[in-house]
Structure 1
Amino acid sequence: MPQPGRERGLVKFFNGRKQFGFLIRRNDAEIFVHGSAVAANQRLSQGDLVEFTVIQTDRG
């Protein structure tokens, strides 16, 4: 079970060189993820189960 305020989803893809990718929420919506939001010691691979917090910015 995720911590309060956090969600779980799957990595759709993540490009480590370009430092961005997308996560899939439980409702099948896709979420953009920037490399700066990933812990320095973590690598994201397609299909990984991840826990995250959704933050709305002026860019979406």
Structure 2
Amino acid sequence: MEKGTVKWFNGAKGYGFISRQGGEDVFVHHKSIVGEGYKNLNEGDQVKFEVENGPKGLQASNVSVIS
């Protein structure tokens, strides 16, 4: 698991980017956020996640907000 900060997330479109603590920013899709119902992230949220290769490059999976 890696940790990072939400750079931006567009709730209407359901995607955004996470700044990693030692690597390039990664794409995040709302389907990759852990939880039930409406899934959203806010700019500046601290998150933990896994990185995998997606169709357009690196993307985050199993994303959860660190409380």
TM-score by length of 2: 0.71
| Structure of larger gyration radius | 1
**Which stretches in structure 2 are left out of the alignment for 5+ residues?**
58-67
Bigger fraction of residues in strand: 2
Residues 1-60 of structure 1: pairs in structure 2 closer than 5 A: 6-27=1-22, 29-39=24-34, 40=36, 42-60=39-57
Q: What CA RMSD, in Å, does the superposition of the two structures yield over aligned residues?
A: 1.6
Runs of 4+ in 1 over 4 A off after TM superposition: none
TM-score (ref. length: structure 1): 0.79
CA distance in 1, matches of 2:22, 2:33: 22
Q: Rate the CA distance shift 1:55–1:43 in 2: closer, same or farther, 3 A.
A: same
User: How many pairs align?
Assistant: 55
CA distance in 2, matches of 1:56, 1:13: 20
If asked which structure has higher relative contact order (CA below 8 Å, sep 6+), I would say 1
**1:52 and 1:27, CA in 2 relative to 1: closer, same or farther beyond 3 A?**
same
Q: Which segments of 5 or more consecutive residues in structure 1 lack a partner in the other structure?
A: 1-5
Give percent identity, aligned residues only. 38
